[in-house]
Amino acid sequence: MVKLRYLLDTNALAEPVKAQLNARFMARLAENRDSCAIASVTWHEALYGMARLAPGARQKALSHYLHDVVAATLPILPYDDAAAVWHANVRAERERVGRPLAFADGQIAAIAQVHGLVVVTANVSDFSGLDGIVVENWAES
């Protein structure tokens, strides 16, 4: 059994279905696929994005990717009580210092922190300043 190491953010999860693939990102994903997971929050964002599409070929292709590729191969980690505690404390502290954190990003960071995972995202700044959160941008590394 391979140990989980990475938590893919929503934009990382979407990279394999983009019209123009980032070769660096795709190589890193192929290299690390067995050690990747997604957060339940990311799963929600992906499903919500698909549900908003008009019925047709794009929605069907995205549904296939999400259900037959993502859900079949990547663990989906829950936002549980430990994540909620961490998130509540970080969220309150960030608000106290005038640096609020987007709610979904806070949930994703909390899941990463609880499981000791590196967040993989193109939106590195969304997770900056969060103690204990390591972030990698595979599109640029």
Q: Point out which residues pair with 76 in neighbouring strands.
A: 38
pLDDT tens, residue by residue, 92-141: 999 999 999 999 999 999 999 999 999 999 999 999 889 899 999 999 96
Name, in order, each residue with C-beta under 8 angstroms of 82's C-beta and a sequence gap of 6 or more. Answer: 114
Exposed, middle or buried, 100 (CB in 10 Å: 0-12/13-18/19+)? exposed
Q: What global pTM score does this model have? A: 0.94
pLDDT tens, residue by residue, 35-88: 999 999 999 999 999 999 999 999 999 999 999 999 999 999 999 999 999 999
What structural domains does the chain harbor?
6-136 (3.40.50.1010)
Q: Please tell me the predicted confidence (pLDDT) of residue 57.
A: 93
